[in-house]
Amino acid sequence: MKFLIADDHALVRKGLKQILREEFPSAEVTEVTGGSEVLKEVGNKKYDVIMLDISMSGRNGIEILKQIRANGIKTPILIISMYPEELYAVRALKAGASGFVNKESANEELLTAVHKVLSGRKYISSAIAEKLAETIGESSEKQAYQFLSDREMEVLQLIGSGKTGSEIAKELSLSVNTISTHRYRILKKLSLNNNAELIRYSLDNDLV
């Protein structure tokens, strides 16, 4: 059994590795910290499950997920994220993920997800399944933030958490000009005027 863990936090990788080793004692677990390393690994070796964080430097996890699928790789991919399921679970599944697990979930839920995707099925928690079921047949309009791209959503959440453009650029390994462009597009799509309104919007919609 071969697992690939992609996360830029050493403690998270260590915790996931320990959980997998306890469940699969003979498993081979490979750790990487960024998107380019993920693409290199999956291009050179076949894995049984890939665990992919959304927030990584450079290209985020959703973008890497889309690239992996575009490359024709069918390996089950579990998105492991600190972000709420209702914000990213559907995005991840539409992009080709096999499942979504919040980092705050219990170990048992993570292992349930792993076993499910290993069997060829998809995994979402009962909580998000209930939320999705509630939306069936509803005619309510989408929240404005649902029209943001994956990267725009990530930038919005970082602005909402109080980070400056330069801090966001450093965290995402992007230029300040690129962050400014994303910010402009976010403001336009949300019909907002400045960072103060973006922060208020993020808080009002539970995005941070």
Give yes or no: residues 21 and 119 share one domain.
yes
pLDDT in tens, 56-96: 776 788 889 999 999 999 999 999 988 777 778 888 888 89
| Residue among 158, 78, 162, 156 at smallest CA distance from 118 | 78
| Number of domains, the chain | 2
Give yes or no: residues 104 and 19 share one domain.
yes
Give yes or no: residues 125 and 148 share one domain.
no
* Rg over CA atoms, the chain: 17
**Residue 156 sits in a domain of what CATH number?**
1.10.10.10
Q: Give the torsion sign (CA, 95, 96, 99, 104).
A: negative
Q: How far apart are CA 162 and CA 168, in angstroms?
A: 10
Q: How far apart are CA 35 and CA 37, in angstroms?
A: 5
Give yes or no: residues 113 and 188 share one domain.
no
pLDDT in tens, 161-207: 899 999 999 888 889 999 999 999 999 999 999 999 999 998 888 78
Residue 1 CA neighbour count, 13 Å, CB half: 15
Q: Is the pLDDT of residue 24 over 80?
A: yes
> What is the reported pLDDT for 135?
56
Give yes or no: residues 159 and 63 share one domain.
no
Partnered with residue 45 across adjacent β-strands are none
pTM to 2 decimal places: 0.71
For the chain, give the mean pLDDT.
87
Q: Is the pLDDT of residue 19 over 80?
A: yes
